[in-house]
Structure 1
Amino acid sequence: MTGYAFPGFLKRHEVTVEPYLGESAYGPRYGPPVAVVGLLERRIRVVRGQNGEETTSSGTFRTRLDAGADIGAESRVTLPDGTTTTVIAVVPHDGGGLPVPHLLEVQLE
């Protein structure tokens, strides 16, 4: 048995992601907004950012593995309640053939 796609019953929340494009003379630049569905967990914890430094995360958003094209570190995310936050790190989980869901874990600032 192989792993499977992100299960439909976990698609409880919709967030809006604006992919980070880099810095400009006026600050960060973002791409067009993309709606992404998944499961949002609001819990404060310590995580490691893309640079390896420890930082505090206010929540984790889990979604389909192929959403990684839209979501990267420093992307801007608008949560269902209208709160805007930034992506600290993105961690792909590929079951490697095990019967578990393939998903993308997005750690939020």
Structure 2
Amino acid sequence: MIVPRWLLPHRVTVEPYIGDSAYGPRYGPPLADVPAMVAETVKQVRRASDGREVVSTAQVITAPGLTCPAGSRVTLPDGRVSTAISTAQHTAPGLPVPQSTEVMCE
């Protein structure tokens, strides 16, 4: 079961991080108007790249399969541009809970 679209009232834009260049970080084509549920709360999380504890100020839930590696730019519904700290694919085969993607943002 996939998270129902009616539970995703917000819209975000994701620019997937694809690596660094001589001029700074590079991003792929923006994924605009992605249905999401955004919670702007402060949480302490571990950064995917180095395991350090950092503070997340926004958590984004989307349908499964979103491509949003750590370092991606995420434009939240209020227009604030944030950076993805980590992404988790939530699946529960055989259980009656919806599959989703969770992105923790700075």
- TM-score bracket, normalised by the shorter chain, equals over 0.9
Q: Any gaps of 5 or more consecutive residues in structure 2?
A: none
User: RMSD across aligned C-alpha pairs, in angstroms?
Assistant: 0.9
Tell me the distance in 1 between the aligned counterparts of 2:27 and 2:5: 29
What is the letter of the counterpart of residue 86 of structure 1?
T
1:60 corresponds in structure 2 to 59
Tell me the distance in 1 between the aligned counterparts of 2:81 and 2:10: 15
User: Superposition pairs for residues 11-90 of structure 1, below 5 Å?
Assistant: 11-35=8-32, 36-50=34-48, 51-67=50-66, 70-90=67-87
What is the letter of the counterpart of residue 88 of structure 2?
V
What is the aligned-residue identity percentage?
Answer: 46
Runs of 4+ in 1 over 2 A off after TM superposition: none
Tell me, what secondary structure is at the counterpart of 2:65? helix
Tell me the distance in 1 between the aligned counterparts of 2:102 and 2:36: 10
2:96 corresponds in structure 1 to 99
Aligned length: 104
- Displacement after TM superposition at 1:102 (Å): 0.3
- Displacement after TM superposition at 1:32 (Å): 1.0
Q: Tell me if the contact between 2:65 and 2:89 (Cα under 8 Å) persists in the aligned partners.
A: no
- Displacement after TM superposition at 1:93 (Å): 0.8
* Structure with a larger share of its residues in helix: 1
Q: For each residue in 1:6-47, what CA deviation from the matched residue of structure 2 results, as whole angstroms up to 9, or x when unmatched?
A: 112211111000010111111001111102111000000100
